[in-house]
Amino acid sequence: MQTYDTVAAYRAWRYSLPSTSTVGVVPTMGALHAGHISLARAAASENTHVVVTIFLNPAQFAPTEDLAAYPKTMEKDLAALEELNASLPPDAPGRVIAVFAPTVAEMYPLGIPLQRCEQVGTFVEVIPLSAKLEGGTRPHFFRGVATVCTKLFNITQPKRVYFGQKDVQQTVILRRLLGDLHFDIQLRVIGTEREKDGLAMSSRNVYLSGERRQVAVVLSKALKAAESLYNNGESDAGKLLDAARRIVEKCGEENGGMVKLDYVSLNEPELLEEVEKVERGRGVILSAAMWVNPTREGEGTVRLIDNLILE
């Protein structure tokens, strides 16, 4: 497994591959967990070569967000990928053969200040999908995602790219981006990996400990409660959303405001339009986001997202 930190070095390797090779790419911001490894494992089952990109993208962060504190675990990340390779069955089509881990200067030659009004260069936006759901609270976020993914797709030249369902809005946006910009790339969406208690795996979970970790699971519980109501025959979106909302709000009240719901929403899967009634068989997205607030000095606010698909 080789690590490349410049576009030129990576491309020299990429162009050396036989024309029959298929490259599967797993874009990450590092701090790899079991969810990332499941994406790489899926890529190894479908491609002759797997590339994992590790790049903490400043364009996804606002000045008030946790860029400086975001976990950076490159040595552990590389070890985890080597461990994955060792665990793959002998007949697996591929393995993680390369890691592309560029510097910020390599990806943004003109610099990338966190203040959007100061940014100079070429950026990509997917309108209006980027303004919905997560975009309501983080209007900068999907512009950063779309821009860096466009760069990474152009650099790595994959046949397939792999993303997790936990970031479901991201997958909807990237599917539209791939189509609108005529990329000859297949998007694979892999199911959300969860902790034993149901908490969706996220690199930001390392910020949670003690009481905060215990209450964080309420987000997945709220979604499961709405799903259970739906499975018992309820299709009214308002009632389903209220069921989820009440669980998070009650948890916040019982724990001194430790958790605060941002949104819970039901959306159709293509344009992310809100639905009033869930049509069975359409695969409507039930998604939510909440903040886990600090309980002591030195802790920061942690934002969690999660979703389920109501079939």
Residues annotated as catalytic are 36
The CA distance from 248 to 221, in Å, is: 9
**Residue 225, CA distances (Å) to 134, 189, 311 in order:** 22, 24, 15
* CB of 123 closer than 8 Å to CB of 143: yes
212, two tokens = 């905060």
DSSP string computed for 200-253: BP-GGGGG--HHHHHHHTHHHHHHHHHHHHHHTT--BHHHHHHHHHHHHHHHHH
| 3-class state of residue 108 by DSSP | coil
Strand partners, 26: 52
The CA distance from 311 to 290, in Å, is: 24
Is beta strand 259-267 parallel, antiparallel or unpaired with respect to 284-292?
Answer: antiparallel
The CA distance from 31 to 81, in Å, is: 12
Q: Which amino acid is at 255?
A: N
* CB of 289 closer than 8 Å to CB of 263: yes
Q: What are phi and psi of 10, to 5 degrees?
A: -65, -45
> Which of 257, 259, 260, 223 has its CA nearest to residue 243?
223
51, two tokens = 């590339």
